[in-house]
Amino acid sequence: MKRFWNWIRNEAGGRVLRLEGPIDEESFWGDEVTPKAFREELEADSGDITVWINSPGGNVFAAAEIYTMLRDYHGTVTVKIDAIAASAASVIAMAGNKVLMSPVAMLMIHDPSTIAMGNARDMEKAISTLNEV
């Protein structure tokens, strides 16, 4: 299964994490990150982490879980944005003790959006959720 993240151990003894692709709560195509799988791999080793991000974003709640995992991690987390950290990926980017960007990279933050269907109550719930994010 192709994942949107990949762990690499560098020579200095720290770990490098590459986040590339969409963020979601469940895997549909097999290339999304899910918080459960991410947690298992994060906790499988220790040491400082460098997180490289190149992602268009995705599910903000999945990104919030990953953000919290990285903030709670026992080690220094350095985030490096080499191309784009858009939408939900910008949430993960803020988890670093230090955040660095390439001069040609983009950090994109926008108002939340969703797709909803159903009755008036369903629409009101969707609006309420958007207002909370």
118 vs 35, 115, 121, CA distance in Å? 28, 11, 8
Quick check: is 87 catalytic?
yes
Catalytic residue among 74, 110, 113, 128: 110
How far, in Å, CA of 50 to CA of 60, rounded? 22
Catalytic residue among 87, 90, 102, 113: 87
Quick check: is 27 catalytic?
no
How far, in Å, CA of 65 to CA of 50, rounded? 18
Beta strands 49-58; 15-23: pairing state: parallel
Cβ atoms of 92 and 84 within 8 Å: the answer is no
Residue 16: half-sphere exposure toward Cβ, Cα within 13 Å: 11
Catalytic residues: 87, 110
